Amino acid sequence: MNHSETLGSNKNQQRWWILANVSLGTFMATLDGSITNVALPTISSSLSVHLYIVQWVITAYLLTIASVLPIIGKLSDLFGRSLLYNVGFLVFTVGSGLCGLSHSIGMLIAMRVVQAIGAAFLMANSQAIVASTFPSTERGRALGITGTMVSLGSMAGPAIGGLLVGFLGWSSIFWINVPIGIVGFLAGLRILPKDKQAKTGEPFDYSGSLLYMAGIVTFLYTVSNSEVWGWGSLPSILGYAVSFIVLVLFYFRERFTKYPMLDFSLYRIQTFRAGSIAALLSFVALFCTNVMMPFYMQDVLNFSPHVIGYVMMAYPLTMALVAPFSGWLSDKIGPLFLTTGGLVINAIGFASLNMLSFEANSWIIAMHLAVFGIGMGMFQSPNNSSVLGAVPRNKLGSAGGLNALVRNIGMVLGTSFSISLFSYQLHKLTGRIAQLKVEGAQHPAAFLTSLHTVFWMAAGVCIVGAFVSASRKALPVRTASNS
């Protein structure tokens, strides 16, 4: 092997080490969006707080990420992706340790915000780093791997969280991040590509950033509190009205400013638009299972946290088997059949959950959840490849940031809407203010009926997503992995 071949081999190996580091960061950042789901009953009991308060352990994390992702993406273009990615690893690790040290719900929620800022730095830069590192012949496969890590992180959270809570207590779900984060940060300093000269002469859009943060935080905060305030109450109406006005102002600001924070022109690309909407709907639906199933298994079936973890593991394990094959197959036949079929399978999975009763066996529940692993495994990698393959290469960073933003908004909406719909139905049946922890034990029939209402709604969301996915154009997908 001559000198040039040796250099080429080393460079090829470094690309895959970079992908490994980015995949680790992506997995951890998305994992912590859902790992607390199964710990909510334990945290609720340990800190003596109700569900509508303890759910902010999840919501604050996702809301923070959604509010800062586009801003961080723009800062990365100005100051360098690798630099801010490594900063994110460090902030995420410190935030995780502080979450583990929390002894009050207020401190825990505040430290989750710190952790989420670090996670946003990781999410905003991961896909752009991969896209700029890999040549066109390998880029599609590499992006498919990072997309798989996103889904595995999101769906493995309840399973891993259940095992950790069952054996080590709820704080362990945060401490586990610290040693991994330190290794990822040190490895990133060594192997990530050096940033090119930052762009000059392009000002940061402070006005647009403030409008975006004000609008999205007001909207998501209102969504998360509407169940407590009342959907038709004055605070809810005002919250939605204010957020709508601010976000409309933000849209027009971005359309007519020379250096926008968000590139809305990407949504003129039909494949990008359809894939983004389908992804949003898929995460809205799937976070209904992440939130509701742990409470069902613990409060109705009396499963222990570690048994819940084993059962929930069926989801990510099945997906880990299906996703690589699905990504490979999408390069051969395109994403249309796989993405649409995956959402249809998810709808069937939600319909089948409505057959669960008061005495369901853990293996039966695991088999039901495995259906979602098949559906999401079919959908996620081909959809990411389709979405990112439809945009010009010089806009991959913006597209990746918007892709992550859509995903996190879907998680917030899924968490809030599932709890709100469940609580509304349970209150209607029992005449009492719904508390999952109380009503699951005292009114199991009403609990199960309300749960089924949520699952039917989620099935409908998946069907709508399947129709949206089917509308995408198939032609650009062949170039997504080959261009």
Q: Quick one: the chain helix, strand, coil %, rounded to 5?
A: 85, 0, 15
Please give the C-alpha separations between residue 136 and each of 13, 72, 285, 389, 473, in angstroms, as whole numbers: 16, 26, 33, 10, 21
Residue 223: half-sphere exposure toward Cβ, Cα within 13 Å: 23
pLDDT bracket for residue 456 (50, 70, 90): very high
Quote the CA–CA distance of 346 and 410 in Å, as a whole number.
16
Examine the domain organization and report whether 244 and 379 are in the same domain.
no
Q: Which pLDDT belongs to residue 244? A: 92
Q: Which residue has the higher pLDDT, 123 or 38?
A: 123
pLDDT bracket for residue 311 (50, 70, 90): confident
Of 74, 440, 398, 425, the C-alpha closest to 266 is 398
Of 323, 336, 435, the C-alpha closest to 381 is 323
Q: Which two tokens stand for residue 284?
A: 């809205």
Range ranked top by mean pLDDT from 182-196, 269-283, 462-476: 269-283
Asked if 129 and 82 touch (Cβ cutoff 8 Å), the reply is yes
Examine the domain organization and report whether 228 and 297 are in the same domain.
no
Q: Which pLDDT belongs to residue 94? A: 93
Q: Which pLDDT belongs to residue 432? A: 54
Mean pLDDT, residues 357-361: 79
Q: Which pLDDT belongs to residue 197? A: 52
Range ranked top by mean pLDDT from 58-62, 178-182, 404-408: 178-182
Overall domain count for the chain: 2
Per DSSP, the residues of 309-321 read HHHHTHHHHHHHH
Q: Which pLDDT belongs to residue 66? A: 79
**Dihedral sign computed on CA atoms, order 417, 414, 303, 60:** negative
Asked if 333 and 388 touch (Cβ cutoff 8 Å), the reply is no
Is 412 part of a structural domain of the chain?
Answer: yes
| 212 pLDDT higher than 80 | yes
Mean pLDDT, residues 308-316: 78
Which DSSP category does 134 fall into? Answer: S
Q: Which pLDDT belongs to residue 437? A: 47
Please give the C-alpha separations between residue 196 and each of 7, 199, 217, in angstroms, as whole numbers: 21, 9, 33
Cβ neighbourhood burial of 182 (10 Å; 0-12, 13-18, 19+): middle
Is 3 part of a structural domain of the chain?
Answer: no
Flag the least confident range among 204-218, 243-257, 358-372, 387-401.
387-401
Q: Which two tokens stand for residue 453?
A: 């209402």
Of 66, 390, 398, the C-alpha closest to 264 is 398
| 3 pLDDT higher than 50 | no
pTM over 0.85: no
Here the CATH number for the domain that contains residue 25 is 1.20.1250.20
| 369 pLDDT higher than 70 | yes
Examine the domain organization and report whether 213 and 352 are in the same domain.
no
pLDDT bracket for residue 167 (50, 70, 90): confident
Q: Which pLDDT belongs to residue 330? A: 78
Rg of the chain, C-alpha, whole Å: 22
Phi/psi at 321 (5° precision): -80, -35
Number of neighbours of residue 71 by Cβ within 10 angstroms: 22
Q: Which pLDDT belongs to residue 11? A: 60
The residues near 265 (Cβ < 8 Å, ≥ 6 apart) are: none
Q: Which residue has the higher pLDDT, 337 or 130?
A: 337
Examine the domain organization and report whether 121 and 150 are in the same domain.
yes
pLDDT bracket for residue 10 (50, 70, 90): low
Q: Which pLDDT belongs to residue 475? A: 43
Is 2 part of a structural domain of the chain?
Answer: no
Examine the domain organization and report whether 452 and 413 are in the same domain.
yes
Q: Which pLDDT belongs to residue 261? A: 72
Examine the domain organization and report whether 385 and 464 are in the same domain.
yes
Write the Ramachandran bin of 381: left for phi over 0, alpha for psi from -120 to 50, otherwise beta: alpha
Examine the domain organization and report whether 413 and 463 are in the same domain.
yes
Examine the domain organization and report whether 43 and 95 are in the same domain.
yes
| 376 pLDDT higher than 80 | yes
Is 408 part of a structural domain of the chain?
Answer: yes
Of 192, 62, 116, 146, the C-alpha closest to 396 is 146
Per-residue pLDDT reduced to its tens digit, 61-77: 878 887 887 777 777 76
Is 4 part of a structural domain of the chain?
Answer: no
Average pLDDT of the residues of the chain:
78
Q: Which residue has the higher pLDDT, 357 or 440?
A: 357
pLDDT bracket for residue 463 (50, 70, 90): very high
Mean pLDDT, residues 170-193: 85
Examine the domain organization and report whether 195 and 247 are in the same domain.
no
Is 235 part of a structural domain of the chain?
Answer: yes
Is 27 part of a structural domain of the chain?
Answer: yes
Residue 213: half-sphere exposure toward Cβ, Cα within 13 Å: 12
Q: Which pLDDT belongs to residue 482? A: 39
Quote the CA–CA distance of 51 and 394 in Å, as a whole number.
44
Q: Which pLDDT belongs to residue 345? A: 94
Examine the domain organization and report whether 53 and 118 are in the same domain.
yes
Examine the domain organization and report whether 451 and 404 are in the same domain.
yes
Q: Which pLDDT belongs to residue 9? A: 54
Quote the CA–CA distance of 472 and 34 in Å, as a whole number.
29
| Residues above pLDDT 70, as percent of the chain | 83
Q: Which of 219, 236, 258 is a domain's end point? A: 258
pLDDT bracket for residue 242 (50, 70, 90): very high
pLDDT bracket for residue 477 (50, 70, 90): very low
Per-residue pLDDT reduced to its tens digit, 378-421: 887 788 778 777 777 666 666 766 777 787 788 778 877 887 78
Per-residue pLDDT reduced to its tens digit, 419-453: 778 877 777 777 654 444 444 455 677 888 888 88
Q: Which residue has the higher pLDDT, 351 or 291?
A: 351
Range of the domain at 70: 9-204+259-480
Quote the CA–CA distance of 442 and 202 in Å, as a whole number.
60
Range ranked top by mean pLDDT from 241-255, 313-327, 387-401: 241-255
Examine the domain organization and report whether 289 and 378 are in the same domain.
yes
Quote the CA–CA distance of 405 and 420 in Å, as a whole number.
22
Of 395, 331, 417, 5, the C-alpha closest to 138 is 331
Is 1 part of a structural domain of the chain?
Answer: no
